[in-house]
Chains A and B, each alone.
Chain A
């Protein structure tokens, strides 16, 4: 039902980069609109907030900002839709969502306090772990 509806929405061709951009934003809005369903299906109320999930989705999309080929953008969108469909139709499970989209997201929290200014890469890596 719902998943067949979604998968139709991304035709294989975008004419230009702007059209692909528009499609990306549409996808983002669609994903954000399905966040309440996702929180309900997988009982994520104690684990994460809606705004955190929105930031996560945004950061995943932002990982591909360097792509300029509209066909590649279409392909990435197709994969994104597929993933979104899988999540919404409960084909995944709670631990998948938690492991893939909730944990390990410190990069989001930009810890740009004064204490980290002017600090070398060595020290940053040192604080994280012994192996760098």
Chain B
């Protein structure tokens, strides 16, 4: 009729509209439409063979590990068959099949609670929809996730959740990245029916890091489960019942755990948010840069969210081997130290002791002039805690070209030994610690030195009831730990077999010994290492299939420094130094530096060493440069620049290269690729990012040690967890934390 003329008109127009034409079909009656029986008969008779559906990919491109190929069961998700290992839940089966089921309380790394009911799906032959996060998948189950029943269940659950949820989206920090917002748009109904008053809950004070608005809480208990399971502190709990349920600490207690910031990521709504980041930015205006954290030796993968030239927050990235999905509080909240006390101009100290800002030309000219006048054996260079491998390579090259071999890195001790790599790396790798069943911690407090390693040890202790023995000053642990002793005497006792713990090591399948890098500062460190290696030999700790001898480093730069060979010639070269080049070295003892020594400080914060410096050269912090860092297990990782450098600051290696040219001994690299190829001639593993380079040799090659062990008890390597390097010492949040959250 009229439709036909329309159709003919569109026929004459372009090809693009011809597809529209195919949508207009004339309405015609068919034999099947005239009576229902006829249609089903016709349909059944005329059904062609369905082509097999293409195989579905798991959610997020995840890899599925079928540990035991014989132990798999087959279930059907929305008609698609999928093979899963036995013991998986229905939700995990759907994830493998590529169907993402909405959930609030379920988290893959926490225990199953099953209290939000958002994951309800329909299973055939089941009278009610089942909570897929809790129901184990049985063979032959037919799971349907998109039926009307499942959809109605989700809409109902969402309606209930939103009933008592305040209308806070405009003022809530989680807006834009809120699970509740996203899932209500995707799965909720379009209109509400709630006309009563909403309940409200009083806010709890959890400390200077976590902001709580408990009215927004949907009582999913993820934070409770995280605190008990992963962090090991049973601070949070659920009080009350029914609609009067509140999450909180029953007594007025602050969350002092070093992993407390992770509850901010875990909370699906805006009940627990980051207090320093409150009201600062929305997530869509932030640019995320994937880099590495350098505040400790673990090298946790982070994402720096920045807006323009300012770092707004730091979020963890997933890395199963190193930090899983968590980061410590120091990593998460140290970013405001990047904005305070920054050096932005080269400065020279003039005659009355005050610093004057000068240009790069003048500063480099002054430094080069002094360096060329000094005798080679009086030139000393020290690399800092946060230095990247490229700058340490350039520093060593520069000082070697000037004739001096007194370069070392902070924290590696007076005469570091970089010959055998197994002596300064975590040989079983952080993920490999999960396989251990006995831990012996010698002179290390992993909770303050490397919080992610501690989390991994706790995970192992919780999963397999591993035994932990600790030698050192009394500290508190968040897992069951035997305090075996305080000094090297205990090591000797265990090595000779007189201590009851040696039988535990002998009977263990995979014993792990973790030695702290704080022992590098001791004079008798060779003797202590020899004693620990004796324990390792007796307990069969180092085998071809399992190497349990681990060293937990303290700084992000130590591993790369020792790999590059930053080993000084003489151990007390500082006492006779006339030219001292400090590249970010703030924790050095500068009392022994002679009064007439010329000290150059190249760093990004005006921390401790600046007060003694004669010339200041501003350099870039880790968030502003592309640098290579090696973590304590030997995994090379790279930082990327998230924000531009402050003021007139330059990259560390560029300053050294420019200085070398001004001094007349030009270094042969001009670009990042060139200095990396120079690094590859010394330590090729530093170019292979995200790959671990395991130690090649074991203790068979280490020389015998004839030193006597000094029986002074071990000291704590880190006194204040929140303030360990120049960035954290300049941070206001870290100052608040150390004032309020440290145990006195």
Contacts and interface: CB of A to CB of B under 8 A. Distances in A.
A123 B658 contact: yes
A82 B402 CA distance: 60
B650 A126 contact: yes
B654 interface: yes
A122 B662 CA distance: 11
B670 A122 contact: yes
Contacts of A120: 661, 666, 670
B48 to A, nearest CB: 63
A123 B662 contact: yes
Contacts of A122: 657-658, 661, 670
Nearest to A118: B661
B651 interface: yes
Tell me which of B649, B661, B666 has the highest count of chain A C-beta atoms within 10 A of its own C-beta. Answer: B661
The contact size tier of chain B is 10 to 19
B666 A126 contact: no
B620 A126 contact: no
Contacts, number: 30
A126 B360 contact: yes
Tell me which of A119, A126, A127 has the highest count of chain B C-beta atoms within 10 A of its own C-beta. Answer: A126
B649 A126 contact: no
Contacts of B670: 120-122
A123 B651 CA distance: 13
A10 B654 CA distance: 52
Interface string B560-580: 000000000000000000000
Given A120-B661, A120-B666, A122-B670, A130 B654 contact: yes
A99 B670 CA distance: 34
A130 B360 contact: no
Contacts of A126: 360, 650, 654, 657-658
B645 interface: yes
B620 A123 contact: no
Interface residues of A, number: 10
Nearest to B657: A122
A120 B644 CA distance: 24
A127 B361 contact: yes
Interface string A99-132: 0000000000000000100011111001100110
Interface string B420-447: 0000000000000000000000000000
B658 A130 contact: no
Given A120-B670, A123-B662, A130 B657 contact: no
Contact of A130 (B361, B650, B666): B650
A127 B362 CA distance: 11
Interface string A73-85: 0000000000000
A123 B661 contact: yes
A130 B645 contact: yes
Interface in B644-666: 644-645, 649-651, 654, 657-658, 661-662, 666
Nearest to A122: B670
Contacts of A119: 661
Interface in B581-621: 620
Contacts of A121: 670
A77 B260 CA distance: 69
Interface string B393-433: 00000000000000000000000000000000000000000
Contacts of A131: 644
B445 to A, nearest CB: 39
A112 to B, nearest CB: 15
A111 B252 CA distance: 68
A119 B620 CA distance: 24
* The 7 residue pairs across chains A and B that have the minimum distance between CB atoms: A126-B658, A122-B670, A130-B650, A130-B645, A123-B661, A127-B360, A123-B658
17 contacts: A121-B670, A122-B657, A122-B661, A123-B658, A123-B661, A123-B662, A126-B360, A126-B650, A126-B654, A126-B658, A127-B359, A127-B361, A127-B658, A130-B644, A130-B649, A130-B651, A131-B644
Interface of A: 115, 119-123, 126-127, 130-131
Interface of B: 359-361, 620, 644-645, 649-651, 654, 657-658, 661-662, 666, 670
Given A120-B670, A123-B662, A130-B644, 19 more contacts: A115-B361, A119-B661, A120-B666, A121-B670, A122-B670, A123-B658, A126-B360, A126-B650, A126-B654, A126-B657, A126-B658, A127-B360, A127-B361, A127-B658, A130-B620, A130-B649, A130-B650, A130-B651, A130-B654
